[in-house]
Amino acid sequence: MSYVLIVGAKSDIAKATARGYAKHGYDLYLAARDVQELTNFAKDIATRTHRDVNLIELDILNYDSHQAFYDNLKEEPLGVISAVGYLGEQEKAQSDFSETQKIIDTNYTGVVSLFNIIADDFEKRRSGFMVGISSVAGDRGRKSNYIYGSAKAALTAYFSGLRNRLYDAQVHVLTVKPGFVATKMTEDMDLPEKLTAQPEEVAEDIYKVQQKGRDMLYTKRIWRYVMMIIKMIPEWKFKEMSI
Ligand SMILES: NC(=O)c1ccc[n+]([C@@H]2O[C@H](COP(=O)([O-])OP(=O)(O)OC[C@H]3O[C@@H](n4cnc5c(N)ncnc54)[C@H](OP(=O)(O)O)[C@@H]3O)[C@@H](O)[C@H]2O)c1
């Protein structure tokens, strides 16, 4: 058996990714809060692919539970994929620190807490892959979402350091930077069609790029060039813009 652990498994991107990995012959640990909501989803994957699919409760903000969560997996996973995220409300976060903290802790602190534990294990075993879903929002701070963006920027830097640390141990770390994706996180937004991916496209890109052992994925691919241009705009000009 070869298990992949997917955390934040109720996410639309995570669900598409879970289907993809099962289709390619991996067994699954799906971890989420209120994970029983995934019961029918898990049965459907197991029936279609004849893979072993396990549901495990995990709150990424309950840091003290992370070691036991990982130790209690019946078999060590071959890889881990995190799709945990919380966009939050930027305006609320500006005046309510508890919202700021929830955005930072969900997108950054919680993922770091769990990935630190898994990284130690993979490093000892000298194998494994780690995939973290960050965001293009972490490439440059914008007034519309800079609390979320700064947490994702921290996460991107964390994955970069982790990749560098685990290189000698042959553990592969992939940072995923989606642009717009049509999921429940963005359902209230009016997204430009040409720049917006479906969760299934993102999942397919993740699988392909992870299997190739690449370090970074922009998805859709066009976001690599969009962000290249956005990062080139000088700060004195950028501060005047509303993008
Ligand atoms: N959609 C986009 O345009 C976009 C763009 C760039 C990056 N991303 C990133 O892609 C990833 C997946 O997002 P998505 O678009 O698929 O949105 P989503 O469906 O809202 O997924 C986010 C997931 O994070 C989980 N989560 C939040 N707090 C948690 C906690 N305390 N413990 C455990 N799980 C928790 C949510 O669980 P519940 O279901 O229980 O709330 C949800 O399933 C996220 O990291 C997001 O930041 C998305």
Per-residue pLDDT at 242: 87
Residue 197 one-letter amino acid = A
Per-residue pLDDT at 62: 98
Per-residue pLDDT at 185: 94
Whether the per-residue pLDDT at 40 is higher than 70: the answer is: yes
Per-residue pLDDT at 103: 98
Average pLDDT over residues 222-233: 97
State what percent of residues in the chain have pLDDT above 90.
Answer: 98
What confidence tier does 1 reach under pLDDT thresholds 50, 70, 90? low
What confidence tier does 243 reach under pLDDT thresholds 50, 70, 90? confident
Q: How far is the CA of 75 from the centre of ligand 1 (A)?
A: 26
Domains in the chain, start-ordered, CATH in brackets?
3-238 (3.40.50.720)
Mind giving me the DSSP string for 2-36? -EEEEESTTSHHHHHHHHHHHHTT-EEEEEETTGG
Whether the per-residue pLDDT at 94 is higher than 80: the answer is: yes
Is 113 close to ligand 1, i.e. is its CB under 6 Å away? Answer: no
Whether the per-residue pLDDT at 33 is higher than 90: the answer is: yes
Question: Quick check: bond before 23 cis, omega within 30?
Answer: no
> Relative to the CA of 60, which ligand 1 atom is closest?
32
**pLDDT tens digits, residue range 103-135?**
999 999 999 999 999 999 999 999 999 999 999
Is 49 close to ligand 1, i.e. is its CB under 6 Å away? Answer: no
Which residues make Cβ contacts (< 8 Å) with residue 127, sequence separation at least 6? Answer: 78, 170, 171
**pLDDT tens digits, residue range 48-83?**
999 999 999 999 999 999 999 999 999 999 999 999
Is 84 close to ligand 1, i.e. is its CB under 6 Å away? Answer: yes
Question: Quick check: bond before 237 cis, omega within 30?
Answer: no
| Ligand 1 probe mutation, 86, 109, 140, most atoms within 8 A of CB | 86
Per-residue pLDDT at 139: 98
> Relative to the CA of 9, which ligand 1 atom is closest?
43
Average pLDDT over residues 136-164: 98
Whether the per-residue pLDDT at 145 is higher than 80: the answer is: yes
Atom 39, ligand 1: residue with shortest CA distance: 10
